[in-house]
Amino acid sequence: MKNLTAKLSTTTPPEIPPGYLNLMGYIDESEVNGPGCRAVVWVQGCQKGCSGCFNPDSWSFDVNQLIGIEELANKILNNPRNIGVTFSGGEPFLQASGLAELAKILRCRGLNVMSFSGFTLGELQSKNAPVDAQKLLSQLDILIDGPFVETLAIHSPYSLVSSSNQRVRVFNPRLKNQLNWASDSLEIHIRSDNTRVSTGYWGHLADYWGNLDLGENYDMKKYQLK
Ligand code: SF4
Protein backbone atom coordinates (compact mmCIF):
# COMPACT_ATOMS: atom_id res chain seq x y z
CA MET A 1 0.00 0.00 0.00
CA LYS A 2 1.56 3.26 -1.04
CA ASN A 3 0.69 6.53 0.60
CA LEU A 4 2.16 9.25 -1.53
CA THR A 5 1.03 11.92 0.91
CA ALA A 6 3.10 10.49 3.77
CA LYS A 7 5.91 12.75 4.86
CA LEU A 8 8.93 12.52 7.07
CA SER A 9 7.69 15.15 9.51
CA THR A 10 11.05 15.58 11.15
CA THR A 11 14.48 14.30 10.26
CA THR A 12 15.58 14.00 13.86
CA PRO A 13 13.90 11.60 16.28
CA PRO A 14 12.38 13.55 19.17
CA GLU A 15 13.39 13.18 22.75
CA ILE A 16 11.32 10.38 24.25
CA PRO A 17 11.14 10.54 28.05
CA PRO A 18 13.48 8.01 29.69
CA GLY A 19 11.65 4.79 30.47
CA TYR A 20 9.12 5.27 27.65
CA LEU A 21 8.61 4.12 24.08
CA ASN A 22 6.71 5.90 21.29
CA LEU A 23 4.55 3.25 19.62
CA MET A 24 2.51 3.08 16.51
CA GLY A 25 0.67 -0.02 17.64
CA TYR A 26 0.60 -3.28 19.52
CA ILE A 27 -1.04 -6.69 19.28
CA ASP A 28 -0.93 -9.94 21.26
CA GLU A 29 -0.93 -13.50 19.97
CA SER A 30 0.22 -12.94 16.42
CA GLU A 31 1.29 -16.04 14.50
CA VAL A 32 2.51 -14.31 11.34
CA ASN A 33 5.26 -12.03 12.69
CA GLY A 34 7.88 -14.46 13.97
CA PRO A 35 8.22 -17.92 15.52
CA GLY A 36 5.19 -19.18 17.42
CA CYS A 37 2.56 -17.03 19.05
CA ARG A 38 3.89 -13.57 20.01
CA ALA A 39 3.27 -9.94 20.76
CA VAL A 40 4.13 -7.37 18.09
CA VAL A 41 5.32 -3.86 18.95
CA TRP A 42 5.29 -1.33 16.11
CA VAL A 43 7.37 1.72 16.96
CA GLN A 44 6.67 5.18 15.58
CA GLY A 45 9.24 6.91 13.38
CA CYS A 46 11.46 6.00 10.43
CA GLN A 47 13.87 8.07 8.32
CA LYS A 48 14.41 5.68 5.42
CA GLY A 49 11.51 6.67 3.17
CA CYS A 50 11.67 3.42 1.17
CA SER A 51 9.62 3.55 -2.01
CA GLY A 52 6.77 1.05 -1.70
CA CYS A 53 6.91 0.92 2.12
CA PHE A 54 3.77 -0.87 3.38
CA ASN A 55 3.60 1.39 6.39
CA PRO A 56 4.31 5.04 5.52
CA ASP A 57 2.16 6.25 8.40
CA SER A 58 4.93 4.99 10.67
CA TRP A 59 7.44 7.50 9.25
CA SER A 60 6.44 10.49 11.35
CA PHE A 61 8.41 11.04 14.54
CA ASP A 62 5.52 12.85 16.19
CA VAL A 63 4.52 11.35 19.49
CA ASN A 64 1.76 8.82 18.86
CA GLN A 65 1.45 6.49 21.86
CA LEU A 66 3.87 6.92 24.73
CA ILE A 67 3.96 3.88 26.99
CA GLY A 68 6.20 3.06 29.94
CA ILE A 69 8.60 0.18 29.35
CA GLU A 70 7.53 -1.67 32.49
CA GLU A 71 3.86 -1.21 31.62
CA LEU A 72 4.46 -2.63 28.15
CA ALA A 73 6.49 -5.54 29.56
CA ASN A 74 3.64 -6.39 31.93
CA LYS A 75 1.13 -6.17 29.09
CA ILE A 76 3.13 -8.68 27.06
CA LEU A 77 3.81 -10.99 30.02
CA ASN A 78 0.19 -10.93 31.16
CA ASN A 79 -0.80 -12.90 28.09
CA PRO A 80 0.59 -16.42 28.63
CA ARG A 81 0.17 -17.26 24.94
CA ASN A 82 2.93 -14.78 24.00
CA ILE A 83 6.14 -16.81 23.82
CA GLY A 84 8.06 -13.94 22.29
CA VAL A 85 7.88 -10.42 20.94
CA THR A 86 8.65 -8.86 17.56
CA PHE A 87 9.76 -5.24 17.14
CA SER A 88 8.73 -3.65 13.86
CA GLY A 89 7.96 -0.18 12.68
CA GLY A 90 8.89 2.39 11.94
CA GLU A 91 12.53 1.82 12.79
CA PRO A 92 13.11 -0.11 16.02
CA PHE A 93 16.78 0.87 16.23
CA LEU A 94 15.87 4.55 16.54
CA GLN A 95 14.42 3.57 19.94
CA ALA A 96 17.15 1.05 20.66
CA SER A 97 17.75 1.97 24.27
CA GLY A 98 14.12 1.55 25.36
CA LEU A 99 13.61 -1.60 23.31
CA ALA A 100 16.81 -3.13 24.71
CA GLU A 101 15.50 -2.51 28.20
CA LEU A 102 12.14 -4.08 27.29
CA ALA A 103 13.84 -7.04 25.64
CA LYS A 104 16.01 -7.66 28.69
CA ILE A 105 12.98 -7.84 30.98
CA LEU A 106 11.16 -10.21 28.62
CA ARG A 107 14.16 -12.49 28.02
CA CYS A 108 14.64 -12.84 31.78
CA ARG A 109 11.09 -14.20 31.82
CA GLY A 110 11.84 -16.72 29.05
CA LEU A 111 10.45 -14.92 25.98
CA ASN A 112 12.42 -14.69 22.73
CA VAL A 113 12.92 -11.37 20.93
CA MET A 114 13.01 -10.62 17.21
CA SER A 115 13.40 -7.29 15.43
CA PHE A 116 13.11 -5.90 11.95
CA SER A 117 15.40 -3.05 10.90
CA GLY A 118 15.80 -0.87 7.82
CA PHE A 119 19.51 -0.67 8.69
CA THR A 120 21.83 -3.46 7.63
CA LEU A 121 23.64 -5.45 10.31
CA GLY A 122 26.89 -3.85 9.13
CA GLU A 123 25.43 -0.37 9.65
CA LEU A 124 24.17 -1.36 13.09
CA GLN A 125 27.66 -2.52 14.04
CA SER A 126 29.48 0.50 12.58
CA LYS A 127 30.62 3.65 14.33
CA ASN A 128 27.72 5.51 12.69
CA ALA A 129 25.13 3.16 14.17
CA PRO A 130 22.10 4.60 15.98
CA VAL A 131 22.58 5.22 19.69
CA ASP A 132 22.57 1.98 21.71
CA ALA A 133 22.23 -0.21 18.59
CA GLN A 134 24.72 -2.68 20.07
CA LYS A 135 22.72 -2.80 23.29
CA LEU A 136 19.61 -3.86 21.37
CA LEU A 137 21.53 -6.26 19.10
CA SER A 138 22.85 -8.06 22.18
CA GLN A 139 19.26 -8.76 23.31
CA LEU A 140 17.99 -10.18 20.01
CA ASP A 141 17.36 -13.80 19.11
CA ILE A 142 16.54 -12.96 15.49
CA LEU A 143 17.20 -9.87 13.35
CA ILE A 144 15.78 -9.22 9.90
CA ASP A 145 17.90 -6.42 8.49
CA GLY A 146 17.98 -4.15 5.47
CA PRO A 147 15.54 -1.68 3.95
CA PHE A 148 12.69 -2.69 1.65
CA VAL A 149 13.89 -2.24 -1.95
CA GLU A 150 10.93 -2.12 -4.29
CA THR A 151 12.89 -3.29 -7.34
CA LEU A 152 13.99 -6.39 -5.39
CA ALA A 153 10.54 -7.11 -3.95
CA ILE A 154 9.62 -10.77 -3.39
CA HIS A 155 5.91 -11.10 -3.93
CA SER A 156 5.41 -14.33 -2.02
CA PRO A 157 3.54 -15.08 1.18
CA TYR A 158 6.08 -17.84 1.86
CA SER A 159 9.14 -15.59 2.05
CA LEU A 160 10.47 -14.42 5.42
CA VAL A 161 11.71 -11.19 3.84
CA SER A 162 9.98 -8.63 1.61
CA SER A 163 12.88 -7.91 -0.75
CA SER A 164 15.85 -10.07 -1.69
CA ASN A 165 18.47 -7.73 -0.15
CA GLN A 166 17.10 -8.37 3.34
CA ARG A 167 18.68 -11.02 5.57
CA VAL A 168 17.43 -13.25 8.38
CA ARG A 169 20.05 -13.39 11.16
CA VAL A 170 19.40 -16.09 13.73
CA PHE A 171 21.51 -15.34 16.79
CA ASN A 172 19.81 -17.99 18.95
CA PRO A 173 20.51 -21.46 17.50
CA ARG A 174 17.44 -22.89 19.26
CA LEU A 175 15.24 -20.92 16.86
CA LYS A 176 16.94 -22.08 13.67
CA ASN A 177 14.27 -24.71 13.03
CA GLN A 178 11.40 -22.32 13.70
CA LEU A 179 11.74 -20.03 10.68
CA ASN A 180 8.33 -20.97 9.38
CA TRP A 181 6.01 -18.11 10.27
CA ALA A 182 5.46 -16.69 6.80
CA SER A 183 2.14 -17.90 5.49
CA ASP A 184 -0.69 -17.00 3.25
CA SER A 185 -2.81 -16.10 6.27
CA LEU A 186 -4.54 -12.81 6.83
CA GLU A 187 -4.63 -12.29 10.57
CA ILE A 188 -7.31 -9.90 11.84
CA HIS A 189 -7.34 -8.75 15.46
CA ILE A 190 -10.64 -7.29 16.64
CA ARG A 191 -10.70 -5.27 19.84
CA SER A 192 -13.55 -4.71 22.26
CA ASP A 193 -14.30 -1.31 20.69
CA ASN A 194 -14.62 -3.04 17.30
CA THR A 195 -11.45 -1.50 15.83
CA ARG A 196 -9.27 -3.87 13.83
CA VAL A 197 -5.64 -4.63 13.15
CA SER A 198 -4.88 -6.76 10.11
CA THR A 199 -1.42 -8.24 9.69
CA GLY A 200 0.43 -10.95 7.79
CA TYR A 201 1.32 -11.06 4.11
CA TRP A 202 -2.13 -9.98 3.03
CA GLY A 203 -2.56 -7.51 5.87
CA HIS A 204 -1.63 -4.53 3.72
CA LEU A 205 -4.69 -5.21 1.61
CA ALA A 206 -6.97 -4.69 4.61
CA ASP A 207 -7.83 -1.56 6.54
CA TYR A 208 -4.55 -1.74 8.39
CA TRP A 209 -3.10 1.17 10.26
CA GLY A 210 -6.10 3.43 10.53
CA ASN A 211 -7.33 1.55 13.56
CA LEU A 212 -4.12 1.14 15.50
CA ASP A 213 -3.84 2.61 18.95
CA LEU A 214 -3.34 1.32 22.45
CA GLY A 215 -6.94 1.25 23.61
CA GLU A 216 -7.21 0.73 27.34
CA ASN A 217 -9.88 -1.89 26.87
CA TYR A 218 -7.92 -3.91 24.36
CA ASP A 219 -9.68 -7.25 24.27
CA MET A 220 -8.38 -9.07 21.31
CA LYS A 221 -10.20 -11.65 19.27
CA LYS A 222 -8.22 -13.15 16.43
CA TYR A 223 -9.19 -14.74 13.16
CA GLN A 224 -6.98 -16.34 10.58
CA LEU A 225 -8.21 -16.53 7.02
CA LYS A 226 -6.51 -18.75 4.48
S1 SF4 B 1 12.73 0.97 6.73
FE2 SF4 B 1 10.78 -0.11 6.86
S3 SF4 B 1 9.33 1.31 7.84
FE4 SF4 B 1 11.12 2.50 7.18
S5 SF4 B 1 10.50 3.29 5.16
FE6 SF4 B 1 11.68 1.39 4.81
S7 SF4 B 1 10.13 -0.24 4.70
FE8 SF4 B 1 9.15 1.58 5.64
Residue ranges covered by each domain of the chain: 20-178
Domain 20-178 has CATH 3.20.20.70: yes
Q: Whose CA is nearest to atom 8 of ligand 1?
A: 53
pLDDT at 224: 55
Q: What pLDDT shows up at residue 65?
A: 94
Q: Whose CA is nearest to atom 2 of ligand 1?
A: 118
Query: Which mean pLDDT values do the consecutive 10-residue runs of the chain (226 residues) have?
Result: 42 79 94 94 95 91 96 97 96 97 98 98 97 98 96 87 95 95 72 74 55 47 52
Q: What is the pLDDT of residue 221?
A: 54
Angle, alpha carbons 155-160-161 (nearest 5°): 60
Choosing from 1, 124, 148, 162 the residue with most ligand 1 atoms within 8 A of its CB, the one to mutate for a pocket test is 148
Residue nearest to atom 6 of ligand 1 (CA): 50
Instruction: Provide the pLDDT for residue 19.
Output: 96
* Dihedral class, residue 29 (left if φ above 0, else alpha if ψ from -120 to 50, else beta): left
Euclidean distance between CA atoms 112 and 106, whole angstroms: 8
Task: Report pLDDT for 209.
Answer: 46
Residue 117 has a CB neighbour count (10 Å cut-off) of 29
pLDDT of residue 193: 73
Can you give the pLDDT at residue 36? 93
Nearest CA to ligand 1 atom 1: 118
Q: How far is the CA of 137 from the centre of ligand 1 (A)?
A: 19
